[in-house]
Structure 1
Amino acid sequence: MAHFRGIGNFDCISMMDSLPDGIFVVDQEMRISAFNTAAASLTGFKCEEVLGRYCHEVFCSDLCKEECPLLEAKEKHTTIHNRIMSIKRKDGKRIPITISASILYDSAGNFVGGVETIRSRRHINTIVNSVADGIFTVDRDMRIWTYNKAAEEMTGIPYSEAVGRPCQEIFHSSVCKNGCPVREAMETGQPVINREVQIIDNEGHCKPVSISASTLEDEDGNIVGAVESMRDLSMVYTLKEEIQKKYAFENMVSRNPTMRRLFEIVNDISSSEATVFIHGDSGTGKELFARAIHELSPRRVGPLIIINCGALPENLLEAEIFGVRKGAYTGADEDRPGRLELCQGGTFFLDEVGDLPLSLQVKLLRVLENREFQPVGGKETLQADVRFITATHRNLEQMVAQGTFRQDLLFRINTVTLNIPPLRERREDIPLLIDMAMQRFNALYNKRIKAVSPDLMRLILSYDFPGNVRELLNLMEQAVILCKGDEVGLEHVPENLFRNNLGECDNLPRANKAFNPGLLAEVLDRHRGNRIGAAEELGVSRTTLWRWVKQAGLENMK
């Protein structure tokens, strides 16, 4: 039965004991003077154990010291409804509750105490604990109110140790200090959806998670906290790594059947001494194939020497390949070995062999046939203990017909031919290449970019990439450099990507917009402060819009 102390006998004792919610009354000194049966059952204290004691000694709430609902009700002359908090039971366990508080006055209008109603949230916790994602709620001071089983498993920190503590102390996330999704949700009033971050568990292990955050409001619409859900991405990342390993080959990655077949051929031919001819458009990775052949061959202990036949004029190119002897021409003051001589025991890669002048094609043919050469101005014959790999983007058959390339040289260099498909013919590789590029450039530029926006991915997948993989990597490098958040968007790529794109992407929002405070305010007003709609109209990501809103001082615009 409810007990009262110091405030007289009340006829409502039986009524209070019949209520399912816990009810207790305090005097003006915050000492408990009434305590019903439901309150005793909820807290584990007997009525006689709490009467006369300060309420903060009994409940040990996370709000007792600074945000007592009853003192707030007294200060604001109003009733506080359904404030979420946690209290400590007699057995030391913390339980989640909602609390409401009202002030008691005597007949003269003087403050004499207050009444508080507490309701268990265990049924809500039961539901929340059945969810596979980690879920927790915080108050406006970022202190944890509720915290489910999945969150315990992710962090390794039990509920009893997490509730009441700042969430930063529990999750140690990469965005706790800057870019916190919970703070962003409370400041903007807009939800944050599927943002990838990293947390650190109690054993110091880093875990990738996808988080979403939304605000919690009281009955008057005031933001009183936020709820965040976390999805463990460890398995996703593990699977992604396994996929990358499955499709990776010597610093290349592909799931395209033609490319996979080329990888098999490279494995087969690497152990031989056969001359290899690599044909493919600029930027398809011809040099990567040459390096792979060298690294998998017995000659990997020797050097890989690369010569670009189109990079030097004829006289310098001849000296660069074959070397020069002193006095061969004006300025040749000493013997200088050529790249062939320096490549002994290794692999000699002639890139853009289609640009090789006809006079040098003859000399190269002799090297291929006899494995010997003479330096410029020299009389001695040197042996060429090298394996030859050549490459070009040109049509050598057509050049033979035009008389600009020797047919006998073509026959000699293409013992084994590798035809590398352009990127437009293997679009299924683009997501893999993007993942590889983001890992590389995140490390290079100390960024934490996790994803590409759906609009940008759709645009990239429909673009023909005349520059092939090289162009895609350059595009991603620029995007990573310009991106300030964790998602690369349309605003981070060059305008020509839109201008030259296929017609099917003409309806994509243009991303070449500059920050315009006046336009931003107009669009926000038109959308009544809705950030998602405003971002879509402006053609920018939500992260960019939020940065612009803060820069313009429009955070409170509704």
Structure 2
Amino acid sequence: MKTAETTLQKWLGIRCDHWLDVMDELNIGAFVADGRRRITAINLSAQALLGLHKTEVLDRDCREVFTGVPCTVTCVLDHPDASGEKNPDLEVTDEENRRHLITRMATPITNGRGEIAGCMTILQDHSPITHLIDRLHYEEHRLKIILDNLDVGIFTVNRGGLINFFNRAAETISGYDRHQVLGKSFAMLFPDTETEDVCLLKESIASGKARTRCRGCMIDREGVNVPIRANYMALKNETDVIIGGLATFHDMTLAHQFNQTISNRYTFHDMIGKDPAMHRIFDMVSVVAPSDATVLVEGATGTGKDLMARVIHSASRRAAKPLVKVNCAAIPENLIESEIFGYVKGAFTGAERDKPGRFSDAEGGTIFLDEIGDLPLSLQAKLLRVLEDREFYPLGSRRTQKVDVRIISATNRTLTDLVNQGLFRQDLYYRLNVMRIELPPLAARRGDLPLLIRHIARSLCAARAVTPPAISRSAMQILLNYDYPGNVRELENILEHALIICREVMIQPDHLPDYVRQRNGRRTLQESAAVPARDAAEYHRILSALKKTGGRRQQAARELGMERTTLWRKMKKYQIRL
């Protein structure tokens, strides 16, 4: 039994028990076996690791202690060439029933004749390291879950500005999947590399100083600027060396829209008019606004339907919540459902994440459905359900979503005619027509013209921080004689034109557009003879854009701020042929 130990003592120059003590000091398990694989010595660390006392181990075949194929296949007593090599891990259980993964490294002990007299084996327990790695993986996974469930966008970059982390909220705000941005420069998220947001993050990384509550814009996957509020800071390692940067940011789109609504708060004072028809409308609005009743606003283009919706919202109990406008005629038919009701991940090709629609954006507030007469029949039933049940299905979802919004709709078309033509659901019409407000064309309220002209001129000059000029009697007469097919909006455009041209203290006829001065201020365009007066302004806008772009519809649509399909539909409506 002592042969291996004696040989080991001669081989190492120290006693076997001293060698085992040294291994104990290093917290390394060790044992010695003779040529018959009988364990002749074992240190305390190995006993603790195996969960066995030395009396249970000494003089036992090591194969009985270390069971398993790896031990029998790689034994150095049979394979001396494997000396010093790490063998496959073995799993052992200690006296407290805790499992350990150990690595064995054995070296044969030879006598003076070169014969194998036994072996010495050290046992390295790497379970603590494995547990630490597992713990780190768990903590990393847990941290990612936490960061992914925050409603604040987060991304991190290395010192070179390359993105190495991008959470789910950042995906939602930017429209990018994390795999599309990881490893790329964070400058791709901003309009240009000189933008303040890029400079601030670079500055934080360079200086180590945080920048907080910074306002700026991020550019999303579609190329649209998204207003954000962001914090930027440097990331440091345990030795306080800067290794990158961190950006956290909030999508301020709704807040921006809301602030715009508040800063441009409309009240009854913005509704100018002394005409009896307008006073009846004012009286109705004062009664309707405080309620949650659905309102239908009818009127020709430019009569102030948008203003009416804002006034009603501002005077309602929902004034502190968003007012979200949807132009049903400006959104392509194949996109309008997802735009209004939102969609869930996988609803269609490219739907890589859930996206809320306009109804969700308007939660608690008001949604203004402009040009409701252009809403496709396929969506009218879905809108009817919202009106009846206050719930809807996002595109691709099997679960309904509750919604608390007030609905105001507007149209420049006669909905009853559309109902008779089968283009608009009768039941939806009755649901929308709970309270109906019909705005008269400007030509029907000529008595309001002097009041409106002065009010609009003052407002335009206030916006430009200039003193409003006087209006000469001859110029005023031309303005009073004009028919205004574009209604109040056209009056605003005419006055803005005059104010820009006028460099004097008084607006003269020469400062007015040419077409206003023609025939004593009455516009007579032959091509508009077949177009109803209520649609004339839009008709002429389209004609003007088509002439300006040489008949190129794509450019004309861009000039008009509408989709190409919308332009084609309106050209068909007005029988405009190129």
> What TM-score does the superposition give when structure 1 sets the normalisation length?
0.45
| Structure whose alpha-carbon radius of gyration is higher | 2
> What TM-score does the superposition give when structure 2 sets the normalisation length?
0.43
